[in-house]
Amino acid sequence: MATGIDQTALDKLQAAASAAQKAAESAQALADQLAVGAAAASGGAIDPFVFRLAIFALAVFVGYYVVWSVTPSLHTPLMSVTNAISSVIVVGALISASVAVGQSEDDGAGASRFYGFIALILASVNIFGGFLVTQRMLSMFKKKG
Protein backbone atom coordinates (compact mmCIF):
# COMPACT_ATOMS: atom_id res chain seq x y z
CA MET A 1 0.00 0.00 0.00
CA ALA A 2 1.39 3.40 -0.97
CA THR A 3 1.91 6.07 1.63
CA GLY A 4 0.83 9.70 1.16
CA ILE A 5 4.28 10.72 -0.02
CA ASP A 6 4.50 7.86 -2.51
CA GLN A 7 1.01 8.62 -3.87
CA THR A 8 1.88 12.30 -4.27
CA ALA A 9 5.02 11.42 -6.22
CA LEU A 10 3.05 8.99 -8.37
CA ASP A 11 0.40 11.63 -9.08
CA LYS A 12 3.09 14.14 -10.07
CA LEU A 13 4.73 11.55 -12.29
CA GLN A 14 1.45 10.71 -14.03
CA ALA A 15 0.69 14.41 -14.52
CA ALA A 16 4.16 14.96 -15.98
CA ALA A 17 3.78 11.99 -18.33
CA SER A 18 0.38 13.24 -19.47
CA ALA A 19 1.73 16.74 -20.07
CA ALA A 20 4.72 15.33 -21.99
CA GLN A 21 2.43 13.26 -24.21
CA LYS A 22 0.23 16.28 -24.99
CA ALA A 23 3.32 18.37 -25.72
CA ALA A 24 4.70 15.69 -28.05
CA GLU A 25 1.41 15.49 -29.96
CA SER A 26 1.21 19.25 -30.40
CA ALA A 27 4.91 19.42 -31.34
CA GLN A 28 4.37 16.77 -34.03
CA ALA A 29 1.43 18.69 -35.47
CA LEU A 30 3.44 21.91 -35.42
CA ALA A 31 6.44 20.20 -37.04
CA ASP A 32 4.27 18.89 -39.85
CA GLN A 33 2.74 22.33 -40.43
CA LEU A 34 6.16 23.99 -40.40
CA ALA A 35 7.61 21.45 -42.83
CA VAL A 36 4.78 21.96 -45.30
CA GLY A 37 4.94 25.75 -44.83
CA ALA A 38 8.71 25.89 -45.32
CA ALA A 39 8.48 23.81 -48.48
CA ALA A 40 5.70 26.02 -49.82
CA ALA A 41 7.36 29.31 -48.85
CA SER A 42 10.67 28.37 -50.45
CA GLY A 43 9.07 27.12 -53.63
CA GLY A 44 10.18 23.59 -52.86
CA ALA A 45 13.82 24.57 -52.22
CA ILE A 46 13.69 23.20 -48.66
CA ASP A 47 12.89 19.53 -48.72
CA PRO A 48 10.39 18.57 -45.96
CA PHE A 49 12.66 15.61 -45.08
CA VAL A 50 15.58 17.94 -44.34
CA PHE A 51 13.33 20.20 -42.28
CA ARG A 52 12.00 17.25 -40.27
CA LEU A 53 15.54 15.96 -39.80
CA ALA A 54 16.52 19.34 -38.32
CA ILE A 55 13.51 19.19 -35.98
CA PHE A 56 14.54 15.66 -34.95
CA ALA A 57 18.07 16.85 -34.15
CA LEU A 58 16.68 19.66 -32.02
CA ALA A 59 14.32 17.22 -30.28
CA VAL A 60 17.29 15.01 -29.39
CA PHE A 61 18.98 17.92 -27.61
CA VAL A 62 15.79 19.04 -25.88
CA GLY A 63 15.05 15.47 -24.78
CA TYR A 64 18.55 15.06 -23.42
CA TYR A 65 18.27 18.18 -21.28
CA VAL A 66 14.74 17.33 -20.14
CA VAL A 67 15.76 13.83 -19.00
CA TRP A 68 18.86 15.05 -17.19
CA SER A 69 16.90 17.78 -15.38
CA VAL A 70 14.57 15.24 -13.73
CA THR A 71 15.38 14.63 -10.08
CA PRO A 72 17.03 11.26 -9.43
CA SER A 73 14.13 10.04 -7.29
CA LEU A 74 11.73 10.34 -10.23
CA HIS A 75 14.10 9.34 -13.02
CA THR A 76 13.62 5.57 -12.86
CA PRO A 77 9.81 5.66 -12.56
CA LEU A 78 9.67 8.14 -15.42
CA MET A 79 11.80 5.91 -17.60
CA SER A 80 9.74 2.85 -16.71
CA VAL A 81 6.64 4.68 -17.97
CA THR A 82 8.27 4.70 -21.40
CA ASN A 83 7.56 0.97 -21.59
CA ALA A 84 4.10 1.97 -22.83
CA ILE A 85 5.74 3.83 -25.71
CA SER A 86 7.87 0.78 -26.49
CA SER A 87 4.75 -1.38 -26.60
CA VAL A 88 3.38 0.89 -29.34
CA ILE A 89 6.67 0.44 -31.18
CA VAL A 90 6.25 -3.34 -30.87
CA VAL A 91 2.83 -3.12 -32.52
CA GLY A 92 4.26 -1.05 -35.38
CA ALA A 93 7.21 -3.42 -35.72
CA LEU A 94 4.89 -6.42 -35.90
CA ILE A 95 2.89 -4.73 -38.65
CA SER A 96 6.08 -3.85 -40.51
CA ALA A 97 7.56 -7.33 -40.11
CA SER A 98 4.38 -8.98 -41.40
CA VAL A 99 4.41 -7.21 -44.77
CA ALA A 100 4.02 -9.74 -47.56
CA VAL A 101 6.91 -9.90 -50.00
CA GLY A 102 5.66 -8.89 -53.44
CA GLN A 103 6.59 -10.03 -56.91
CA SER A 104 9.27 -7.41 -57.60
CA GLU A 105 12.47 -6.88 -55.65
CA ASP A 106 12.19 -3.09 -55.53
CA ASP A 107 8.87 -2.86 -53.69
CA GLY A 108 10.68 -2.45 -50.34
CA ALA A 109 8.88 -5.29 -48.57
CA GLY A 110 12.11 -7.15 -47.77
CA ALA A 111 13.67 -4.08 -46.17
CA SER A 112 10.44 -3.41 -44.30
CA ARG A 113 10.45 -6.92 -42.87
CA PHE A 114 14.11 -6.67 -41.89
CA TYR A 115 13.79 -3.30 -40.16
CA GLY A 116 10.51 -4.38 -38.56
CA PHE A 117 12.25 -7.43 -37.11
CA ILE A 118 15.16 -5.33 -35.80
CA ALA A 119 12.69 -2.83 -34.27
CA LEU A 120 10.79 -5.71 -32.66
CA ILE A 121 13.96 -7.11 -31.08
CA LEU A 122 15.19 -3.73 -29.80
CA ALA A 123 11.79 -2.67 -28.41
CA SER A 124 11.38 -6.04 -26.69
CA VAL A 125 14.79 -5.70 -25.05
CA ASN A 126 13.84 -2.18 -23.97
CA ILE A 127 10.57 -3.35 -22.41
CA PHE A 128 12.19 -6.30 -20.64
CA GLY A 129 15.04 -4.13 -19.33
CA GLY A 130 12.59 -1.47 -18.18
CA PHE A 131 10.66 -4.01 -16.15
CA LEU A 132 13.88 -5.32 -14.61
CA VAL A 133 14.97 -1.81 -13.63
CA THR A 134 11.53 -1.05 -12.19
CA GLN A 135 11.53 -4.30 -10.21
CA ARG A 136 14.98 -3.53 -8.84
CA MET A 137 13.92 -0.01 -7.88
CA LEU A 138 10.80 -1.25 -6.12
CA SER A 139 12.81 -3.84 -4.19
CA MET A 140 14.89 -1.00 -2.72
CA PHE A 141 11.78 0.32 -0.94
CA LYS A 142 10.76 -3.00 0.63
CA LYS A 143 11.45 -3.41 4.32
CA LYS A 144 14.09 -5.97 5.10
CA GLY A 145 13.41 -8.21 8.01
pLDDT tens per residue across span 128-137? 887 887 788 7
Q: 95 near 116, Cβ under 8 Å?
A: yes
Q: How far is CA 26 from CA 97, 110, 122, in A?
A: 29, 33, 27
**Tens digits of residue pLDDT in 35-91:** 777 777 777 676 778 877 888 888 888 888 877 777 766 666 666 667 777 778 888
The amino acid occupying position 98 is S
Of 60, 59, 64, the closest CA to residue 31 belongs to 59
pTM here is 0.46
